[in-house]
């Protein structure tokens, strides 16, 4: 029965069924209709992989070019930050630059987060809290618990990436430095303070082997470079930073952004001198393409 016909009856005691639910008044029927429509409307989705990628790349861009595939999700995040009075509306533009990163850091801090948990990268927990009732989160990234490889600490996502690189290379890789190492090697400039960053020992490797290792690391989702003594106060090694690891230190985030922009991940920001791998993929993108 249509609501208009029901209203014409003018009988409050009459019961009808609307969408499988008994209702006894026009007001109740109308409320149920509105509620049904509201429940049927799905929340928009925020692609966490795309947002995190933009949060690493956009702050390093010399222009306002948007990260491909990230605009719609970044806009939803920025709108939520705006409504919490953490981001001015003029910055709600789909560009996850330094202003949006700073706003997201403030949001993380408002949740009581500190250290790596307030690094400006949208993590799984903070993004879900920001989107409660507004959007759902898809393509979730989780660094996982910390584990040890020998004496060095990494997270399980990094461990899986290293294992896959070893499988591709048919050789074991030995670490010179792991992750979560604040106050460690000062030449690392803070890149190892968070998760997702390792240095690979290259003892006994010739130039071709070093390059093949860096290429395999890039294939599975690391930004990886062969580092020489001429570049800094360090021995030969391979430096690898896991793209989209949400535990990355700010310095490591900058390396990822520079890698996508064709740079070498060093302070001089010179052209990338590593093996070319195209397209650049995150670990999750690599798994889907495998």
With a CB cutoff of 8 Å and minimum separation 6, the contacts of 173 are: 162, 165, 166, 200, 201, 213
What values do phi and psi take at 80, rounded to 5? -70, -40
Question: What angle do the packed helices 48-57 and 98-110 form, to 10 degrees?
Answer: 120
Q: How far apart are CA 137 and CA 48, in angstroms?
A: 6
With a CB cutoff of 8 Å and minimum separation 6, the contacts of 18 are: 29, 32, 33
Where does 31-183 show beta strands of DSSP type E? 45-47, 136-138, 146-149, 152-155, 175-177
Q: Distance of alpha carbon 105 from its chain centroid, rounded?
A: 14
Q: How far apart are CA 122 and CA 260, in angstroms?
A: 19
Query: Beta strand 136-138 with 45-47: parallel, antiparallel or unpaired?
Result: parallel
Note down pLDDT in tens along the chain; length 290 residues: 343 443 333 333 334 343 444 444 444 545 454 444 445 589 999 999 999 999 999 999 999 999 999 999 999 999 999 999 999 999 999 999 999 999 999 999 999 999 999 999 999 999 999 999 999 999 999 999 999 999 999 999 999 999 999 999 999 999 999 999 987 777 788 999 999 999 999 999 999 999 999 999 999 999 999 999 999 889 999 999 999 999 999 999 999 999 999 999 999 999 999 999 999 999 999 999 99
Specify the pTM.
0.85
Residue 259's pLDDT is: 98
DSSP-H helix ranges across 138-249? 156-169, 207-219
Q: How far apart are CA 147 and CA 144, in angstroms?
A: 9
Domains of the chain: 3-40 (no CATH), 45-138 (1.10.101), 146-289 (no CATH)
């Amino acid at each position: 029965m249509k609501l208009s016909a029901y209203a014409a009856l003018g009988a409050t005691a009459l019961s009808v069924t609307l969408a499988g639910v008994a209702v006894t008044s026009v007001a109740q029927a109308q409320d149920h209709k509105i509620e049904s429509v509201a429940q049927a409307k799905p929340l928009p989705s925020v692609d966490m992989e795309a947002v995190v990628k933009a949060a690493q790349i956009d702050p390093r861009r010399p222009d306002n070019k948007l990260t491909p595939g990230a605009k719609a999700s970044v806009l939803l995040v920025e709108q939520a930050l705006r409504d919490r009075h953490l981001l001015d509306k003029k910055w709600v533009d789909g560009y996850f630059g330094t202003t949006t990163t700073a706003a997201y850091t403030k949001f993380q801090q408002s949740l009581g987060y500190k250290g790596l948990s307030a690094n400006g990268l949208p993590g799984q927990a903070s993004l879900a809290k920001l989107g409660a009732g507004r959007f759902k989160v898809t393509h979730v990234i989780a660094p996982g618990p910390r584990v040890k490889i020998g004496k060095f600490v990494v997270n399980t996502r990094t461990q899986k990436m290293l294992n896959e690189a070893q499988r591709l290379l048919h050789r074991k890789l030995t670490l010179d430095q792991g992750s979560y190492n604040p106050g460690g090697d000062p030449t690392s400039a803070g890149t190892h303070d968070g998760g997702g960053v390792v240095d690979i020992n290259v003892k006994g490797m010739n130039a071709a082997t070093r390059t093949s290792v860096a290429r395999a690391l890039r294939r599975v989702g690391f930004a990886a470079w062969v580092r020489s003594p001429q570049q800094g106060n360090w021995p030969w090694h391979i430096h690898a930073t896991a793209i989209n690891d949400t535990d990355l230190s700010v310095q490591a985030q900058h390396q990822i952004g520079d890698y996508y922009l064709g740079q070498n991940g060093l302070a001089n920001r010179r052209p990338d001198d590593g093996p070319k791998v195209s397209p650049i993929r995150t670990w999750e993108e690599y798994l889907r393409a495998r």
